[in-house]
Structure 1
Amino acid sequence: MGAEAGDPVVAKFDNRPTWDNNGPKFDNRPTWDNGNKKESHCRAARTPRAGRPVPTETELAMDSRTFGRVTVALPNLDETGAYLSNVSSLETGRGIVQDFRYADADLRDLALSDTRLITGRIIGLRASRVEFSAMRLDSVDFDGCDLGSADWRDSKLSRVAFRNGKLMGATLTGLTIDSVLFENCRLDNATLDNVRATGPVAFSTCTLSEAVFTNCDLGRVVLDGCTLRLTEFGRGRYQGLDLRGNDLSALRGAAHLARVVIDRPQRTELAEALVAELDVTYGDTLDDGR
């Protein structure tokens, strides 16, 4: 019986989703798969490189290392499906090298400027003369490289690892570093000027004999098990610099190391370094009558 004029209209309750009322049957698959299965906008998983073993969960978890109070994120190059192409040079007209492997090069000169290196391994590189400027490195691993007395300026490094390498006599100027690891490296006689650590940085079991730090911001840096013989700390910002686990007795510039982190037994080492720098005279060494 139809409703007469003036009668209230009562809508029949329908608990189906409103977008499905009087329409096609509801499909709870992802929207890109509804109907005629339109093209997915999701990136397909990459296929692992042929012959390359799939990393275990433990290996995948090893994308960071903790030293004292800081955790350094490492280049994540072993993720499932990662593919690194062998390259014969780091020089490119495009100014970018990505997903690469550069191995066993023995060069007289290596000069790079305004170049970006992204996701790659550099293995066994040897160069007598290295000049880097305005570089950007993201997720790059250097292993067993000898960069000689490199001149490296005005660059940004993020998630970079230097292992078992040499930067002896290198000059590092105006670098901004974040999540960078130097492990088992030789940086004897290196000069680090205006180097700013904006994120966690670690020097682990490195030799820094007679290296010089000037105008650096090392508040988020850890030196762990390093050789600091005649290592000089000039003016700079060192509040928070973690020096635990190192012999501090032979370093220079102890007066500039305000608010660094040390262990209690290291107080005598730091005091010894300061006394040596002040060149004090002990009374019992004076001649009688003086």
Structure 2
Amino acid sequence: MRTTTVGDVTLLLPDLDPEDLEQVTYLSDGDVRDGLVDGVSWRGEQLAERSVRGCRITGADLSEVSWEAGALYGCEVVRTDLSGATLTGISIERCAFTGSRFTGTRLVDVRLKDVLFDNCRFDYATLNRVSAAGSVAFTDCTFGHGRWSSCRLPGVALRSCDLGHLELESCRLDGADLRGSRLHDLRTPLDNLKGVVLGEDQIPDLARLTVEALNIIVRAEG
């Protein structure tokens, strides 16, 4: 395992050596462990109470996968397509996602602990009742036209992300580090931003959100 720090968040992540992993091509009926999953297509697969542990998944097509219960533990996921997937009731722990796509993905009742999302796309993705049980960080990610509802992500790092047109509803983000992220066109009641950490350069966007939330009318003098 290795540690990575994003802002004030320190994450414990896997450090896998491909030479120690066995090539995996087909999805068996059992759990997947210590596998090298390179360029495979499991598009539309139905998974229930399945565990994937200690795997490096690279350039895979996992779009429209339906995964209910189970766990993703100690995995590196690189340039993998999870567009349109539905992940329900799974636990994701000590995992790193890099350059992967979650366009239109649905995450429901997902538990995150020591998870890093770097340069990933969450356009039109829906997060419902997603919770952080430990350190979680998003860096250089895009969330355009996504929707988060009833999520509990205190202390999460959202650094240098594009939050434009992201909709927040009944979310708890106290202590979340949003410095360097684009807030323009973020759609949220102000109470969803209670206790977040911002940079001085983000104050104008926060002022705009406040004006819109309070229905303040701004007019030129004269």
- 1:175 CA displacement: 0.5
Q: Which amino acid aligns with 2:177?
A: D
Shift of 1:178: 0.3
- CA spacing shift, 1:234–1:277, aligned 2, 3 Å: same
* Alignment match of 2:119 (pick from 184, 199, 221): 184
Structure 1 Cα separation of the partners of residues 14 and 93 of structure 2: 9
Q: Are 2:68 and 1:68 aligned?
A: no
1:224 maps to a residue whose letter is: R
The structure having more radius of gyration, on CA atoms, is 1
Report if aligned partners of 1:253, 1:274 keep a CA contact under 8 Å in 2: no
Distance 2:159 2:79 in 1: 20
Supply the distance in 2 between the matched residues of 1:284 and 1:77 (Cα, whole angstroms): 60
Could you say which residue in structure 2 is the equivalent of 1:85?
22
Q: Note if contact 1:149-1:169 (Cα within 8 Å) is conserved in structure 2.
A: yes
Q: Which runs of 5+ in 2 are unaligned?
A: none
Instruction: State the TM-score, normalizing by the size of structure 2.
Output: 0.92
1:257 is aligned to: 193
Residues 185 and 236 of structure 1: is their aligned pair in 2 closer, same or farther, counting only changes over 3 Å? same
Three-state SS of the structure 2 residue aligned to 1:268 is helix
% identical equivalent positions: 33
Quote the Cα distance in structure 2 between the aligned partners of 1:280 and 1:174. 36
Q: Does 2:206 match 1:267?
A: no
CA distance in 2 between counterparts of 1:211 and 1:90 reads 30
The TM-score with structure 1 as length reference comes to: 0.71
Unaligned runs of 5+ in 1: 1-59
Number of the residue aligned with 1:193: 128
Kept in 1, the 8 Å contact 2:34–2:54? The answer is: yes
Matched with 2:59 is 124
Asked if structure 1 preserves the Cα contact closer than 8 Å seen for 2:42 and 2:65, the reply is no
RCO (CA 8 Å, sep 6+): is it higher in 1 or 2? Answer: 2
Contact 1:254 1:270 in 2 (8 A): no
The CA RMSD measured in Å over matched residues stands at 2.0
- Structure 2 match to 1:208: 143
Aligned residues between the structures: 221
